[in-house]
Chains A and B, each alone.
Chain A
């Protein structure tokens, strides 16, 4: 997949930092204001989508292949299960093992910020990896079209 003009590439390179920062903000303050893991994860995935569209799938696949995306997504899922299993300290799966309700701070609700981060990581990496493979598939599909016709 080809990239776009130099203007779009420059703007995408400048914006990706802000988009990821905004997505991280939405993930982290999920228990204080509207947002949470799913919203922030999808926003991060949309920022990475901008980079894939602007620079082309080849360039992005050299820097950050879909294997890395699979690893990050699995880390998110394992992190979610680990935080939920740590609830056995409090007596139950998903138990509240960190004291809660200290006002409007970042680490207040019992295990909600950590679960938010795990879910956000999972959703962002998963959607980015799926779209990267979709964009890169067009390449190898075009080169395979010669021997695909001979079936």
Chain B
């Protein structure tokens, strides 16, 4: 039971670290760092859900190589031992969306610094100017 839940627990701890950074830190850069850590934790969790333990050796990626495609039996054996392709498809788009959103956050932080002159959140929320 322990080996079946330890990777998930570590992933949730990573998520909690990112959440702590967003909630408690007063510097805008630290908040952005926390948001990116949360993105990474969620992507890791999705990939962990789709992992299927192979019978022996390393994990089998769901890609059919030329020498496997020659025999139908090898293809069937690959497809019954490969990891789940659906979570990987979800994470592939999620990674690039995370990059675009963090670019937008960085642009907003730049504009805030131009207007208020500081990255400190306690000064920015005083609604100066």
Whether the Cβ atoms of A148 and B99 lie closer than 8 Å is no
Interface size class of A (residues with CB under 8 A): 10 to 19
Whether the Cβ atoms of A38 and B106 lie closer than 8 Å is no
List, sorted by A's number, 18 A–B pairs whose CB atoms are closer than 8 Å.
A33-B63, A34-B61, A38-B93, A38-B96, A41-B96, A42-B96, A104-B66, A123-B96, A127-B99, A127-B100, A130-B100, A130-B103, A131-B103, A134-B103, A134-B106, A134-B110, A137-B110, A141-B114
Main DSSP-derived SS at the B contact region: helix
Chain B residues lying within 8 Å of A127, measured Cβ to Cβ, are 99-100, 103
Interface residue? A151 (CB, 8 A): yes
Q: Mark B87-129, 1 if CB is under 8 A from A, else 0.
A: 0000011011001100100110010001000000000000001
12 other A-B residue contacts (CB within 8 Å) besides A130-B103, A151-B129: A34-B61, A38-B92, A42-B99, A104-B69, A123-B96, A126-B100, A127-B100, A131-B103, A134-B106, A134-B107, A141-B114, A148-B114
Q: Mark B38-80, 1 if CB is under 8 A from A, else 0.
A: 0000000000000000000000010100100100000000000
Q: Mark A27-53, 1 if CB is under 8 A from B, else 0.
A: 000000110101001100000000000
Closest to B89 in A: A36
Main DSSP-derived SS at the A contact region: helix
Nearest CB on A from B29, distance (A) = 15
| A49-80 interface (Cβ within 8 A of B) | none
Whether the Cβ atoms of B95 and A38 lie closer than 8 Å is yes
Chain A residues lying within 8 Å of B61, measured Cβ to Cβ, are 34
Chain A residues lying within 8 Å of B107, measured Cβ to Cβ, are 130, 134
Nearest CB on A from B123, distance (A) = 16
Q: Mark A118-129, 1 if CB is under 8 A from B, else 0.
A: 000001001100
- Complex Cα distance A151/B117, Å? 13
Return the 6 tightest CB-CB contacts between A and B, nearest first. Answer: A38-B96, A130-B103, A141-B114, A38-B92, A104-B66, A151-B129
Nearest CB on A from B59, distance (A) = 13
